[in-house]
Amino acid sequence: MVDLHAQYLKIKSEIDAAVQQVIDSSAFINGPGVDRFAENLAGYLGVKHVIPCANGTDALMMALMVLDLKPDDEVIVPTFGYVAAAEVISFLHLIPVMVDADCGSFNISLDELEQYITSKTKAIIPVHLFGQCCRMEPIMQLSQKYNLYVIEDNAQSLGATYTFSDGKKKKAGAIGDIGCTSFFPAKNLGCFGDGGAVFTDHDELAEKIRMTANHGQSEKYCHKIIGCNSRLDTLQAAILDVKLKYLDAYSEARYAAAQRYTEGLKKIDELELPAEEPFSTHVYNQYTVKVKNGKRDALKACLHEKGIPSAVYYPLPLHKQQAFKGIIRTVSSLDYATQLCGEVLSLPMHTELEPGVQQFIIDEIRCFFEG
Ligand SMILES: *Cc1c(COP(=O)(O)O)cnc(C)c1O
């Protein structure tokens, strides 16, 4: 699905030098490279504060921890997607309110979103799935109307750009009150292990997140709030600082690979190809198609037989997961998310995908449908 080794080989000398420098310095925890990377990422995103942390799930958890929410306060999340946001909401004894997916984009549906908002609703977590932004402009309008915090889960869409109706542009993750991302190796900006970050323009929230990540202390052994221990290693920061310079080129390579898939697959009636929204660039963390007429699993098996990997992101909507039984609230049947889980298939997608390899994949898919 990804080729991390080929990507590494292209920048090996830079990465190796950066890693060696950290080893020589022995500043493995909170070394100067961590702040440097945070500043560079803040510059890239156009946000005031970037707080690096241990992983994307911690980023989401800390974002929620600093909002002074009370048990049973409600937080709106999509039911189609990765578990992290709903998981940390529940972990903090808040109620995940689950919303259906949008037909075209896989992202949270806005059709009925207002109906989910009650006096207990305090925040909404739009998850920018597969590389493309949610409809942030109406989400921000709703959040202003009902005084809700907006925490963007930007683990899959770092580098995407949102265009507002007045033409103003912002980076994904820099639109809401707080943005969160993950540097898991397979993400668009991946490190060589685990990593994550929180971004915000709010000085006070940034200060609280910084303290939260460091056992709630402002100065050593002075614990003002309940926190946790969530740090980005200096080694990972050094690797990320090298790779950040290539993020836009990586996004372009993913986009080009996506266009090759689309060109090769567009004539197959039983496939619905990814829809590109007019308001967001697409950085294709995943190239995810919908396979119609119940043929998804057969196509997946056929590809597997030919040595072609593919993956189902995601096989079960969160509201049907055992862990959330009795915890969630919803106001709709969430049918569309359930339907998606039966249709989606993600094809190999990464920065080093060769046209020849893609042609082989395309040919095998066409062979499956057309014989
Ligand atoms: C990967 C991912 C996360 C979690 O990131 P980790 O670094 O693995 O904790 C959260 N949300 C989404 C949408 C993700 O894809």
With the most atoms of ligand 1 within 8 angstroms of its CB, the residue from 130, 133, 178, 182 to mutate is: 182
Pocket of ligand 1 (CB under 6 A): 55-57, 81-82, 84, 127, 153, 155-156, 182, 184, 194, 196
Cβ atoms of 241 and 37 within 8 Å: the answer is: yes
- pLDDT at residue 260, as a whole number: 98
Cβ atoms of 279 and 135 within 8 Å: the answer is: yes
Distance from the alpha carbon of residue 269 to the mean position of ligand 1, in angstroms: 33
Residues 1-16 pLDDT 10s: 999 999 999 999 999 9
pLDDT category at 42 given cuts 50, 70, 90 is very high
Residues 43-62 pLDDT 10s: 999 999 999 999 999 999 99
Helix 203-213 to helix 56-65 angle (10° resolution) is 120
Give the whole-angstrom CA distance, residue 368 versus residue 371. 6
* Residue of 91, 60, 82, 67 lying closest to 230 (CA atoms): 60
Residues 189-243 pLDDT 10s: 999 999 999 999 999 999 999 999 999 998 999 999 999 999 999 999 999 999 9
Q: Give yes or no for residue 341 having a pLDDT over 90.
A: yes
Q: Give yes or no for residue 371 having a pLDDT over 90.
A: no
Helix, strand, coil percent values for the chain (each to nearest 5): 40, 20, 40
- The chain-wide mean pLDDT, for the chain, equals 97
- pLDDT at residue 304, as a whole number: 98
Give strand pairing partners of 337. Answer: none
